Structure 1
Amino acid sequence: GEYIGSVEKGFRSMLAEGPTIGAPVVNMKVTLADGGYHAVDSSDNAFQETARGAFREFYPKSNPKVLEPLMLVSVETPREFQGDTMGTLMQRRAIVLGTTEDEDFVRIDAEVPLAEMFGYATVLRSATQGKAGFTMEFKRYAPAPAAVAEELRQQFLEKRQAGK
């Protein structure tokens, strides 16, 4: 039992910067089922390194997913710009959750990946003659599409190679 903390420390050291895109690894369960001890070779560092080695071996086999933050975006726009506004959202991989209408305005609620929202204020202003506005708040994390995950993985590998 004396080296359980060392094993945990070794695993935790690998979670801070994951090997896929360099982001923290989350939602991972590790179970220590058994262990051995040798009077000469056992040490804090040896158990930490063993845990890191186990992580490197088993992490790729765990079918890891890249997660991206999804934002709840609420856009208020004059009715005459509803179609154009909907178009600006759909170009950003939005999932429309619903619309609310009154006499003059429409509110569109959608889930949109945060990565797609950069520059949105300018695009929305342009599409609605400056008459629409939006709010945005974090909603949840969800698996990123394969193409997005692969692009992030390539960027991480390029940065890692440039840093060496």
Structure 2
Amino acid sequence: MAAAATGQGATSVAGNGTARPLVLTRKINAGANSAQTKVPNTYQLEPSKEFAFATHREAIREIISTCLEEALNASEADPKDVLMNTLAKIKSDLLQLQAVLFPRHRVVVHGIIGNIGHNQPSLIYGSQCLASPECGDDGVSVSVKNYDRFLCVCAFGSYQS
């Protein structure tokens, strides 16, 4: 099937040896007599409660905890590989959750990993986020450790109007 453009802004399609024009129309002026559909404004200063990051803290905490427990049991020797693979999995899972539950939030995830020697870890990690609780902004932090490794991940969600 071949398509060619005509001088009138329409296209013609050749099929079975005949060509018929495809007219592309669009209603420009609906007229004064037609009923107009009122479309709601999409600009919001804050999300509805069911679409707020803070509403879904436990689901987010569960995703992060599951990924961190898997990372502790990982057989990879290089901590950098463990951290990057874990953050990639967390990011993937949170993006799926974000698309459904809090689509207008920007999510930031921080992670840190370290090895434990004979002493307790000597690394201190802190993270803060400017948040507006009435917009559903919040953060979730999960830390896990075993005999030779520790991981800490923080996820912050801030509403983007």
More helix as a share of residues: 1
Superposition TM-score tier, normalisation by shorter sequence: under 0.3
Structure-2-length-normalised TM-score? 0.25
Structure-1-length-normalised TM-score? 0.25
